[in-house]
Amino acid sequence: MELAYYSDYAVRLVNTEEPVRGKDTLTSVEAVRDLFGANQSAARRAADADVTRFRSVRARLRSVFEAADGGDETLAVDLLNSLLLEFPVSPQISGHDFRDDDGRPLWHMHLADHPSNATAGYAAIAAMGLAFHLTEYGVDRLGLCEASPCRNAYLDTSTNRSRRYCSDRCATRANVAAYRARKRLEADRPESTGRAEDSAQPTTASGERRPEPRGR
């Protein structure tokens, strides 16, 4: 569904913070405006107060991803529904900026917000886009990156529901870490076996190994 495109708004906002790493890029009006991308008319509405408001919406959107990633479908839907009720939008048919070969508008669905501030407009689009994605693909398509300590949000659109990482970079890093862990385990096994064999030999009271009895 075309309106699922707006779900990227939710991902962009959630990923402005990396809680495990203690990083947060949402610290200024400029950072808020950057989230709007090409929608510069909406970005111009941003003011200083929107930084705090955006952070509040970000926390609520992350909670949706956390619930979905944890397998709690009902909680994920309930949290998202609360955002939809608080930040409503109106679907409209639009043809701006898109023309066919004959110069006629390429009509498509567009989400029109009616915000009292920049945060309300962004939250409305992000929540509606995420709702369309959830109902189109399933709650289990909302995930958090498994490459510790990343935990960035992502939307799984793979054909076999196999996505586990937010980016190729994180997937590569996780694979390298797993490979190194396997190698360490393989290297430790001979040493462990040798120590077990040594401990099986009888010892004296001082801890020295007793000599093997000679045959008669």
Please give the residue that has the higher pLDDT: either 103 or 28.
28
Neighbours of 75 (CB within 10 A): 16
Rounded distance, CA 111 to CA 119, Å?
Answer: 15
Mean predicted confidence (pLDDT) in 13-38: 94
Q: Looking at 33-37, 112-116, 171-175, 178-182, which range is the least confident one?
A: 112-116
Q: Are 103 and 80 in contact (CB under 8 A)?
A: no
Phi, psi of 109, deg, nearest 5: -80, 140
Q: Looking at 44-58, 87-101, 172-186, 196-210, which range is the least confident one?
A: 196-210
pTM score:
0.76
Judge whether residue 197 has pLDDT over 60.
no
Most confident of the following: 98-102, 120-124, 202-206: 120-124
For residue 46, count CB atoms less than 10 angstroms from its CB and return exposed for 0-12, middle for 13-18, buried for 19 or more: buried
Instruction: Label residue 5 by pLDDT band (50, 70, 90).
Output: confident
Phi, psi of 88, deg, nearest 5: -80, 160
Q: Are 113 and 123 in contact (CB under 8 A)?
A: no
Q: Identify each DSSP E strand in 56-178 by its residue range.
A: 89-94, 108-113, 142-144, 153-155
Q: Looking at 28-37, 50-59, 154-163, 194-203, which range is the least confident one?
A: 194-203
Neighbours of 74 (CB within 10 A): 9
